[in-house]
Amino acid sequence: MTARELLRGDLRLVASLVPAESRVLDLGCGDGSLLAHVRDERGCVVRGVELSRQGVASCVAKGIPVVQADLDEGLAVLSDGDFDVVVLSQTLQVVRRPDHVLREMLRVGRTGIVSFPNFANWKVRGYLAFKGRMPVSRVIPYAWYETPNIHHTTLRDFRVLCVEVGGEIVREIALASWGDSVRRVRALPNLLADTAVAVVTSRGPEGMRSAGGDLATADIHGG
């Protein structure tokens, strides 16, 4: 099995969106698997930020430069535009201040790639409506009393948040889990998708230019 195949489904998509030889920062990088992949396969210069000691140790073992830090405290040690791409994968919903983290991401990076679970998915809605309990699923695997997800968001909510922090979504890709893989959702994404990947830049001509070729291809649907 290749390094890419070992990545989670949404991370494989995120990795494919990262331009070759770019400077990449991964916020909440976990064990560093994504950074190791884009470093080895796409020639990227990488750096991670991770809070857990276990994650930091795994990154160090992979030879990935990593800083142990709490994203809610900001990225004051990093200058504006230090990175070409900043990744925030399955992390936005677990931080205390998602608006602040998103602003910081757009400050230090020319382009942001964000992935997050969509809590408006039809299975989540149905589970709550018919069982009267907080949903537990493959995408949301935690019971309500132990979940790290403290800000449950949807595709529509994320679009609003991006505008409020001065960002702009230049590409939105909705995904639905299917066995061990994921498939693209093109219609009614806010209802049918359980995961979303969004490419975000700061609003304005400069931000749009920084997104570059394929990343700036508009792919936003209603739902």
The full set of domain ranges for the chain reads: 9-216
The model's pTM: 0.85
Q: Which of 20-29, 147-156, 209-218 shows the lowest per-residue confidence on average (mean pLDDT)?
A: 209-218
pLDDT, tens digit (0-9, with 9 covering 90-100), for 63-117:
999 999 999 998 998 999 999 999 999 999 999 999 999 999 999 999 999 999 9
CATH class of domain segment(s) 9-216: alpha beta
* Per-residue pLDDT at 6 exceeds 80: no
**How high does pLDDT run on average in the chain?**
87
End-to-end CA distance of the chain: 36
* Per-residue pLDDT at 207 exceeds 80: no
Q: Residue 223 is which amino acid?
A: G
For residue 83, which of 38, 41, 25 has the smallest C-alpha distance? Answer: 25
pLDDT-derived band at 206 (thresholds 50, 70, 90) equals low
- Going 196 to 194 to 47 to 78, the CA torsion angle's sign is positive
Q: Which of 29-33, 92-96, 105-109, 204-208 shows the lowest per-residue confidence on average (mean pLDDT)?
A: 204-208
Phi, psi of 25 (to 5 degrees): -115, 130
Residue whose token pair is 């992390």 = 91
pLDDT at 218: 34
pLDDT, tens digit (0-9, with 9 covering 90-100), for 147-183:
888 888 999 999 999 999 999 999 999 999 876 678 8
pLDDT at 213: 39
CA–CA distance, 75 with 121 (Å, rounded to integer): 32
